[in-house]
Every structure is written in C-alpha cells, then in structure tokens.
Amino acid sequence: QVQLQESGPGLVKPSETLSLTCTVSGGSISSYYWSWIRQPPGKGLEWIGYTHYSGGTNYNPSLKSRVTMSIDTSKNQFSLKLSSVTAADTAVYYCAKIGSGGARWDCWGQGTLVTVSS
C-alpha cells in the first residue's frame, strides 16, 4: 500500500521559490508517475504537473515557466519547485500517485498548506 507524505516550509515570501518534497513509502518510486496538485483555500483543484523517474515531465501550461519537478530514487522522494511565488500561489499542495492508465490519481498525500506572505 503506497503512502505519500509532503514536507516543506509552510510560509514562503513573495518572489521567492516554494520547495516541497513528497516521500513515498510502501512502493518503489520507479514504478509510477507522480504528480503535484494544489487547492487554494476554499477553491477547487489545480493540476501542477507530473514526473517520472525516467526524466519525463509534463507541467500545467499556466505554470510551466515557474515549475520544476524532480525525482530522487535513492530516497524514494520527488519534489516540486515553484519560483517567483505570489499570494495567488497560497494553497494546500498535494502530492499524488497517478494510477495505471494515466489521467487519474489513486493515492494522495494528506496535503500541506503553503502560505505566501511577507
């Protein structure tokens, strides 16, 4: 049973880079595709991107210029970096596993709230 846990700073200053890590347990990170999804307070879900250990990535076109995702197979972790953040990037950030066949997430972390504020 795969389990995911997000970690990282809960407060980031405007114009700085948001950095989060997702630790995967109960399964190999090399076996699946992995995503980040966010949810601003009181609002809906937004897909940020996905990554694979082979190096394959795909980012939401609206965030592409500011997003970088990577995988550390030695630590069974994957990460998200979002640069030049503004208050609009304040959200609960979820890491999630993409189900076989794609375009769906069958396992989610508990989520971590990141607030952008000076």
Partner 1 sequence: QSALTQPASVSGSPGQSITISCTGTSSDVGGYNYVSWYQQHPGKAPKLMIYDVSKRPSGVSDRFSGSKSGNTASLTISGLQAEDEADYYCCSYAGSTIYVIFGGGTKLTVL
Among 40, 46, 57, 63, binds partner 1 (CB under 8 A): 46
* Binding segment (CB under 8 A) for partner 1, from list 8-16, 17-25, 66-74, 105-113: 105-113
Q: Does 28 bind partner 1 (CB under 8 A)?
A: no
Q: Does 108 bind partner 1 (CB under 8 A)?
A: yes
List binders of partner 1 among 53-72 (CB under 8 A): 58, 60-61
* Residue 22 CB, nearest approach to partner 1 (Å): 12
Contact partners, residue 85, CB within 8 Å, separation at least 6 = 12, 14, 15, 16, 17, 18, 66, 116
Among 54, 74, 103, 118, binds partner 1 (CB under 8 A): 103
Q: Does 2 bind partner 1 (CB under 8 A)?
A: no
The residues of the shown chain that bind partner 1, judged by CB under 8 A, are 44-47, 50, 58, 60-61, 94, 99, 101-106, 108-111
